[in-house]
Amino acid sequence: MIKAEKSNSLITVIISVYNVENNISYCIESVLKQTYKSLEILIIDDGSTDNSYNICQKYADKDKRIKVIHQTNQGIATVRNAGIKLAKGDYLFWIDSDDYIKENIIERLYENLVAYDADISICDFIKGSEINYIFPEENNFTVECFSNQHGLELIYKNDHYSFIMAASWAKLIKKELYNGLSYPDGKIFEDIYISHHLINKCKKIVCTNEVMYYYYQWPESILGK
């Protein structure tokens, strides 16, 4: 159980959107189903030319926790930096607009972060091209707490673990870690650049192998092949 005095901490969920009209509803719906309710949901539309913005705005009209920001197309780094600046929560949770999450992911990550007094809380993920993946109900999972040095070492492992550590998503991150940092414009895999700095600033990192994030891969994408 979460300690009562910390159970109402505001968590900011940031969704970057660009031309994902066919998938964005799955993403937003999975956020709205979260068992942890004290959420601020920032949806930043990076100049979509399809119906993405209108879909997002319809959700905002129904749920006051949602704020939709529309900007000219500037790229993912600008979107992420805008999200950090606008976020009012003490913790940030990133989700890509074509991904979706298990209904208790934020609650579980927050419980682990509080229990271990950590700065970043991480879970496992699964990838595929299903739009209706059902997360397994598992009880046989482990939780591990480790130092920032070990976290940095894991980034360089050429396996599933390194992907988890380097990505921005599937994590609950103390916002204060971003002080003095920003995502670099014009760089591919901007997550990897910033993750090194975030992890280096941590005192403790907690990680569970419970699968709670679905990483959607377009079948025709490079990573999907």
Domain tally, the chain: 1
Domain presence at residue 1: no
User: Measured between alpha carbons, how far is 170 from 24 in angstroms, rounded to an integer?
Assistant: 17
Per-residue model confidence (pLDDT) at position 204: 97
pLDDT (tens digit per residue) in 87-105? 999 999 999 999 999 999 9
Comparing C-alpha atoms, which of 15, 51, 46 is closest to residue 32?
Answer: 15
- The CATH number that applies at residue 178 is 3.90.550.10
Per-residue model confidence (pLDDT) at position 223: 39
Helical ranges in 11-104 per DSSP H: 24-32, 52-62, 76-86
Domain with 72 in it:
9-216
Q: In 10 A of CB 131, how many CB atoms?
A: 13
Between the CA of residue 45 and those of 10, 42, 78, 209, 215, what are the distances in Å? Answer: 22, 10, 11, 31, 20
Whether the per-residue pLDDT at 138 is higher than 90: the answer is: no
Domain presence at residue 83: yes
User: Measured between alpha carbons, how far is 4 from 111 in angstroms, rounded to an integer?
Assistant: 11
Domain presence at residue 225: no
Residue 50 DSSP SS3: coil
Domain presence at residue 164: yes
Model confidence, pTM? 0.92
pLDDT (tens digit per residue) in 177-213? 999 999 988 766 677 789 999 999 999 999 999 999 9
Per-residue model confidence (pLDDT) at position 189: 66
pLDDT (tens digit per residue) in 54-88? 999 999 999 999 999 999 999 999 999 999 999 99
